[in-house]
Amino acid sequence: MTELRGMLVSLIDKICNQRIANQTITNRLDQAERELAEHRAANTRERNQTPLDPLKAASNPQSTVRAPISLEDALHRASYFATHEELVAALKEQYSANKNNATKKPATPKQPTTKGQHSYAINNLPQKPSTYALSKYCAFHDSKGHSTEECRASLRRQNGNKKTTEAKISTNKRGREIEQESPSSPPQLRGK
């Protein structure tokens, strides 16, 4: 029975504490709503105020500055204005220093790094004589310079070189060697 009373008392205490916490939250919410309403009213009043001279307001945007709401707001604005002015002055000084350094150019013209020598390599290796002939025509390439027979012969030579340079012999899964076939040969029929 005493355990039951103890549990009941602790539950009642929890409910009371919860009620107090809820009341505190409600009070904070009401305060925030009042501050929001005041802020909205101040913004509405500010929007409804029109400057006397629209051209004056456009030429000097600081003339339409709203009045500070509190002392904290005024101090914040003053510190922001001071730091902004200092920052602008520092940036102007830095800009003028960079501008002065950029305008000072060396009096002597720059010499190329190669000092008059050309920086490209000349190919002195012997080369094959050109086989380009205007009298020959290749039907495969549809152009002049070599004949169709020469084109086919060079293709055969290239294919022969590829076959001789291949060191690998491909094998199937069972380890049997597969004969090398030319690409033009028909595919083999598989037997069951």
Average pLDDT in the 175-179 region? 59
Distances (CA, A) of 172 to 23, 75, 123, 169, 176: 84, 86, 48, 10, 6
Average pLDDT in the 25-54 region? 80
- The strand pair at 143-145 and 133-138 is best described as antiparallel
Sign of the CA dihedral 64, 65, 69, 70? negative
How much is the pLDDT for 56?
52
171, two tokens:
């094998």
Distance of alpha carbon 19 from alpha carbon 17, whole angstroms: 5
Contact predicate 133/123, CB 8 Å = no
Distance of alpha carbon 175 from alpha carbon 180, whole angstroms: 15
Choice between 178 and 133, residue whose per-residue pLDDT is larger: 133
Distance of alpha carbon 3 from alpha carbon 122, whole angstroms: 105
Q: For 77-109, how does the pLDDT look when each residue is reduced to its tens digit (9 = 90+)?
A: 888 888 888 888 888 888 887 777 766 655 566
pLDDT range class, residue 15, cuts 50, 70, 90:
very high
